[in-house]
Structure 1
Amino acid sequence: MSEASPSSPCRVLIVDDHPVVRLGVTLSLEAAAEEFVLCGEAATPGEALDLVERLRPDAAVVDLHLGGRDGFDLIDDLTALHPPLRIVVYTAMEERLYVRRALRAGARGYLMKGCDPALLVPALRTVVSGGLAVSEAAWKDAAPGAEEPASIDALSNRELQVFRLIGLGGAPAAIAEKMGLSVKTVGSYRERIKSKLRLADGIDLDQAAYEFVRRSKEIIPPAR
């Protein structure tokens, strides 16, 4: 079964590497048991792909950072594997900076951890019915004709992942190990990011990345 019928609850997969978060989402689903039922939990990208292939859930609640894997690529892979899947991103990454990229990857909703937990079920209800579940402010940013800051929008998903790890204080060797790359490849990514963001040198890159991460850690609950 790949889609919920009018008489059966929508089957939801949780993809998050924090057990406490998975428990919180589970409790929200249990409170709306007539509409939604948990069909599986995944803590890694590999588990998520395996469960989507085997269980064919109707919807998924997905974090953007799982064991170093780029969450946008994971969303793209999940929707390619099972096109009817409706994904709500549930993450600590600040909405204004990432919502457009998440929607482009195939997500249909975006909620920040720290928002009112009561927003999760309405968000799932919206995406399953074919709508978009994002805050009013994020919708303005994601609407046709709206643009992300050109500098950030210019980065590929992989470059954005490297940029974020730089901002978290990662040295090239540490970033290489986390992403499964060579130090030389990380150096190439640094040069490409500097060029796209028009940064003069490595110090400017480190400072810009730090500021980006600082902004992305702000917790701003979506507007009701």
Structure 2
Amino acid sequence: MARIFIVEDHPIYREGLAGYVNEEPGLQVCGVADNVADALTGIERTNPHLVVVDLQLKGSSGLDLIQDIRYRWPELHILVLSMYDEIRYADRVLRMGARGYVMKDKGPETVLKAIKTVLQGEVYASQRVKDQLLMGKVEKSPTDVLTDREIQIFQLLGEGNTVAEIAEQLNRSPKTIQNHIDHIRTRMHLKSRQELYQKSKEWVLGLGEAEDDAG
């Protein structure tokens, strides 16, 4: 029986996914959490074979959790399940050590297939992502120059969060977040904070990627 630990901050989605997993022969949910601290404690206690990680968690990010898991349990399989577009995040999380990426708009059959694929030691990604990775990027996305923390902040800015709200979500001071924002603007060669805010909104809406692909 393969033990699955689910880290997801939406209770309805979390319980629904747990139900699907428990109904599947050979799979069993051994624990759930909605934040990084509880996830690490639960993983240590239950010793799962695979952790399903959402990128958006309470008080932190799934990117932080992936880093912590890879440091503490380098052999533990990680599958990312997220609402964020796979084209923007799949390559990043796979390079971080996750073994698969599934978007939340996929059906339970796809999620279960991804879980089984990763448990078998293989990497799971959609054909869309595989094609991108095989072909390589003709032009790099402007966000490729950002660190994992910076990409989190860029995403949150694009979703309309203020500096104070981002600081609260990531458990950092507003000054620290503002310093990150200034670094992001410099890395992306943007002339002003206003231009940065506009680019982040376009990126979240998918406009920035379309422009990059056209280039």
Q: TM-score, normalised by structure 1?
A: 0.85
Q: 2:17 aligns with which of 22, 25, 28?
A: 25
Q: How many residue pairs align between the two structures?
A: 207
Q: Find the counterpart in structure 1 of residue 105 from structure 2.
A: 114
The 5 Å alignment of 1:48-127 reads 48-127=39-118
Counterpart of 2:29 in 1: which secondary structure?
A: strand
Q: Answer 1 or 2: higher relative contact order, Cα 8 Å, separation at least 6.
A: 1
Percent of aligned pairs sharing the same letter: 35
Q: Which moved more, 1:36-45 or 1:182-191?
A: 182-191
Gaps of 5+ in 2: 208-215
Equivalent pair of 1:28/1:120 in contact (CA under 8 Å): no
Whether 2:24 is the aligned partner of 1:36: answer: no
CA 129–108 in structure 1, closer or farther in 2 if over 3 Å, else same: same
Whether 2:36 is the aligned partner of 1:45: answer: yes
Partner deviation per Cα, 1:97-130 (whole Å, 9 max, x = no partner): 1001111121111111111211112111111111
Q: Find the counterpart in structure 2 of residue 220 from structure 1.
A: none
The 5 Å alignment of 1:148-163 reads 149-163=140-154
Which residue type is aligned with residue 154 of structure 1? V
Whether 2:166 is the aligned partner of 1:166: answer: no
Q: Find the counterpart in structure 2 of residue 190 from structure 1.
A: 181
CA 146–132 in structure 1, closer or farther in 2 if over 3 Å, else same: farther
Question: Displacement of 1:30 after TM fit?
Answer: 2.4
CA 111–201 in structure 1, closer or farther in 2 if over 3 Å, else same: same
Q: What is the CA–CA distance in structure 1 between the aligned matches of 2:57 and 2:74, rounded to whole Å?
A: 21
Question: Displacement of 1:174 after TM fit?
Answer: 2.6
Equivalent pair of 1:168/1:213 in contact (CA under 8 Å): yes
Equivalent pair of 2:60/2:169 in contact (CA under 8 Å): no
Q: What is the CA–CA distance in structure 2 between the aligned matches of 1:68 and 1:199, rounded to whole Å?
A: 28
Equivalent pair of 1:61/1:88 in contact (CA under 8 Å): yes
Question: Displacement of 1:145 after TM fit?
Answer: 4.8
Q: Find the counterpart in structure 2 of residue 16 from structure 1.
A: 8
Which residue type is aligned with residue 83 of structure 1? P
Counterpart of 1:111 in 2: which secondary structure?
A: strand
